[in-house]
Structure 1
């Protein structure tokens, strides 16, 4: 190849490279390139609306099976104003939309069927809770820590939800028997992790019913069987609780938006209508609100409350 032809070839190759590089730099004529828009973060209201839609689509069986799944309104309900008290689990149960829908569905059943279904639900979830606790304890013995991912906290919520339904649809003797079994399971589980360096047993709240749960379930059962005046008299005279210290907690319909739960409204904002209510219960929000700040005082209150429920049992 002559020097002239070689020079022309190099010139052509250079020109082609310039064209290719320029085309790559410019790209097709699609306008300015912008970064992809970030997905909008899901708000609490959106999550709540999604959950309401899921609850609406569930069958009764699916609702019963889903009770151990976490829900946002349950997480924030029942928080105590005292750093020394656990959240009020029964208030959390009443804030659970699935519980509200199951409660309403049981109302449509024959009493015997609602009784049978509530009792079976409790037994099913107690067995599942036992399984999760055993798995939690086995992991604890290996790692020395409690793995929250196993879900004993949520299965204990499901047992509490079932116990609430038992208090509404079953006789007092059934509630007493179920709570005693729940207590036995919880005591056995906490004993298995008693030798730990923590000041509080790591399963104290998540293994069985805490003392406030037992008190409030007793109060719920008494309200189910007694007229309002008689219930108040037993609370004052037999259980020896200050009546004004008992809060009225509603069980609202399952589709009630959380923003309607509060009673405070800003100046100039129209008042919100009262959300529909399935039931109202008088209960104790926290031990500090009734002055029962020692284990001895709490045990005394529980003994008197359970004794009042046993009297209902004797009258059956």
Structure 2
């Protein structure tokens, strides 16, 4: 064998050995989990729980960093352009699937610039109003909206978000007009709802449970085909007379493209193992969410389906591209 070929093979073997050693040692320093929304919102809440359980499984610190802005595109873009070494991860949600259609240019491709690692949790959405409002049922809200065109407003965490789409579903099915008021996250939207500056908000339970317990907000309905275990007296949208069951939310972990499969598998397996633990299940249920484990392959198929479904909803409700 020629000397140059022998030398090349030797270098390749050394490189492969070094790569194998690096993967075996992974993770050997803290992992950063990027939450592309403000602190205190649904993605942040489940992101911190995910960081905790992932860190416990991997025996390594997982640090949460909030990078809100541009309807989550700022934080997602940061991860998309980070090295694919497994040390910078994204706490993804439906916005990643929505924004691929909604925005003309996000600066990244949600399908091709990420590797899907695992889905962690899901939750229905809860329609809430200020407890001082006159609305005690969804019918009350719809009747008022029909009698008072454009006097109703609904909050969201941005154009094309689940909150926005649920607002469109309610007003379309309820046959009344309402003003959409987008915010940069759940906390500022809730602040204005409690202050009486908007009429209703349909969002994840984790964001509103505290306000429901304190009596500042009143629940009118939930999305999905069945009632929430935590809110057994609150009817679904279907039970309340709508044709559409509404949209729930999901949360998952994604990594930059180029992340080694061995690293993806290690992360995915760690999350699958953690989500099977009874105490982890209870912790997530306590947040108003449901454990919804999907491994890397399952989450990849789920995500691609979500991209298509959200594209259809954006078209159906004539939501302009941003």
TM-score bucket (shorter structure) = under 0.3
**Structure with greater helix share of residues:** 1
TM-score (norm 1): 0.26
Larger radius of gyration: 1
**Structure with greater strand share of residues:** 2
TM-score (norm 2): 0.26
